[in-house]
Amino acid sequence: MREVMLIKLGEIVLKGLNRKNFEDKLVRTIKRRIAEHGEFRVINQQSTIYLIPQGETVDFARIEKTVGKIFGISRYARAAQCDKDLAAIKGTAVEYLGGVLSKMRTFKVESKRSDKKFSLKSPEISAAVGERILEAFPHLSVDVHNPEITVTVEVRDFGAYVRGDSLPGAGGIPVGTGGRAAVLISGGIDSPVAAWMLAKRGVELIAIHFASPPYTSLRAEQKVELLLRKVAEFAGKITMITVPFTEIQEDIKKNCAEDFFTVIMRRFMMRISEIIAKRYRCKALITGESLGQVASQTMDAIICTNDVAKMPIFRPLIGMDKDEIVEIARKIETFETSILPYEDCCTVFTPKHPRTKPVLSDIQREESKINCENLIRSAIEAIKITEILE
C-alpha cells in the first residue's frame, strides 16, 4: 500500500478535439506547482491525473493546499494504492481509513471498475468492502443516502485505489488556455476578484496599477502587490506594471470641469492600459466594474470609458452586487488585505457631485483642454515592472 493523490478533471472532459491541449497544459502546471514538494510521477489517464510520490517522505497536507488552487481541477483526494485483489482492497480500506472510520457513525461504499478484466462488478466490490468495514468497526452502520463518509474504491489499469471523500478543486480551465489579458488592479475589493474570475477561465494575467504619489503612499502599492500574490496562488506568475498617474490627475483637476473628473480619469487609464496591453500581447482588458456601484460605473459612464479603447473590455463583476463580490474575496483570501486603509488613485480628487449620466461630446470637449498624448507618453515612459511569483 502506498499513498498517492487522485486528481479529477472538470469541464476539460467536454473539450472534444481540443481536450488534449487542455490536459497537457494542466499536467505541466501541476508538475511545476508541486515541484517544490518533492519528486512525483504524474500520469494522466481516463479523466484522472495520478500524483505518485517517488520518495519516502511526502507532506500531502502541503500538496493539497497547492493542488486545491490550480484551475482545471474539479476534485482531488489522497488515496491508498494496492493490488487489484479483493483481499488487498478490503485490508487497505480498513488500514488506510481506519482512523477516520473509527470517528464516524455512518458510511457507504461506492466502487468504480474501469478495468473490466477485474472479476467482480462494482456492486459486488462495494458489498464485500462494506462487509469487511462493518466487521472491523461494529459501531458503524450503513447509510446510502446521507453517510458521514463515503469510502470509494476505484479499480483502474495501474492498480486499485481506496479513498475517503474527495475535496473540491478550483474548477475552471488551466491558466494559459484562454489567452492573455491585462487587468486594471486597484487596492479595492473588486479588481482582485475580477482578476481571479478571468484566470479561472484560463486567462493569463498582466496587472496594471496606477499610483499617484504623494497622494497615494508606498503602502498602497505594496497592498496591491499583496493582493496580486493571493491571486497568483491560483493564476500563476503575474507581471505587475505600475504607472505614475499624478501628473495626469493634477492636469485634469486644473483644466477640466470637476463633475467630469472621474470619467476622464478612467478614459486615461484605458488608453494607457491598452498601449501596455499591446506590448505584452494581450487580447483584452479586464476591470472590476459592477454596473451602478459608483458614479463611474453607470451605463452612460461606461459608454464614455469604452469610447477610447479598441480592445474588448471584460467586466466579470458587471451584474454582481457587493455581497456577492465580498463572498468571493473572502474565499480567495483577498478581502482582509483589500480593506486595509491605504487609498488608491481612484479616491484622489474625487468630485463632490460626479456626473452619473455623462455625454460623450461633453467629455471630449473637456479633454480637449489638456495635452493627452504628452501626458500618456510621459506616464508610459516612467512605468515600473514587478514580477509577482506564484
Over residues 207-249, the pLDDT tens digits come to 999 999 999 889 999 999 999 999 999 999 999 999 999 999 9
Q: What is the pLDDT of residue 100?
A: 96
Q: What is the pLDDT of residue 106?
A: 98
Using DSSP's 3-state secondary structure scheme, residue 85 falls into coil
Residues linked to residue 198 through DSSP beta bridges, in sequence order: none
Model confidence pLDDT, tens digit, residues 24-46: 999 999 999 999 888 999 999 88
Instruction: Decide if 183 contacts 195 (C-beta within 8 A).
Output: yes
Q: E strand or H helix at 374, and its extent?
A: helix 372-381
Cell of residue 322, nine digits: 457587493
Q: What is the pLDDT of residue 148?
A: 97
Instruction: Decide if 7 contacts 76 (C-beta within 8 A).
Output: yes
Q: What is the pLDDT of residue 345?
A: 77
- CA atoms of 186 and 326, how far apart (whole Å): 15
CA terminus-to-terminus distance, the chain: 33
Percentage of residues in the chain with pLDDT exceeding 90?
84
Listing from the earlier edge strand, what are the strands of the sheet with 284-286?
Answer: 313-314, 284-286, 180-184, 204-211, 238-244, 384-388
Q: What is the pLDDT of residue 137?
A: 97
Using DSSP's 3-state secondary structure scheme, residue 240 falls into strand
Model's pTM, two decimal places?
0.92
Cell of residue 4, nine digits: 498517492
Q: What is the pLDDT of residue 349?
A: 78
Q: What is the pLDDT of residue 351?
A: 81
**Which amino acid is located at 21 in the chain?**
N
Residues linked to residue 239 through DSSP beta bridges, in sequence order: 206, 387
Q: E strand or H helix at 132, and its extent?
A: helix 122-136
For residue 74, the 8-state DSSP code is E
Cell of residue 341, nine digits: 486603509
The string over 328-345, giving b where at least 16 C-beta atoms fall within 10 Å of a residue's C-beta and e elsewhere, is bbeebebbebbeeeebbb
Using DSSP's 3-state secondary structure scheme, residue 387 falls into strand
Model confidence pLDDT, tens digit, residues 342-369: 877 777 778 888 888 999 999 999 999 9
Q: E strand or H helix at 163, and its extent?
A: strand 160-163
The string over 216-225, giving b where at least 16 C-beta atoms fall within 10 Å of a residue's C-beta and e elsewhere, is beeebbebbb
Residues of the chain with pLDDT under 50: none
- CA atoms of 62 and 362, how far apart (whole Å): 56
- CA atoms of 69 and 55, how far apart (whole Å): 24
Q: What is the pLDDT of residue 115?
A: 86
Number of C-alpha atoms within 13 angstroms, CB side, residue 270?
23
- CA atoms of 116 and 349, how far apart (whole Å): 70
Instruction: Decide if 13 contacts 84 (C-beta within 8 A).
Output: no
Cell of residue 148, nine digits: 458521514
Q: What is the pLDDT of residue 75?
A: 97
The percent helix, strand, coil of the chain (3-state, each to 5) is 45, 25, 35
Cell of residue 46, nine digits: 481516463
Quickly list DSSP for 291-346. TTSSGGGSHHHHHHHHTT--S-EE-TTTT--HHHHHHHHHHTT-HHHHTSS---GG
**Which amino acid is located at 331 in the chain?**
K
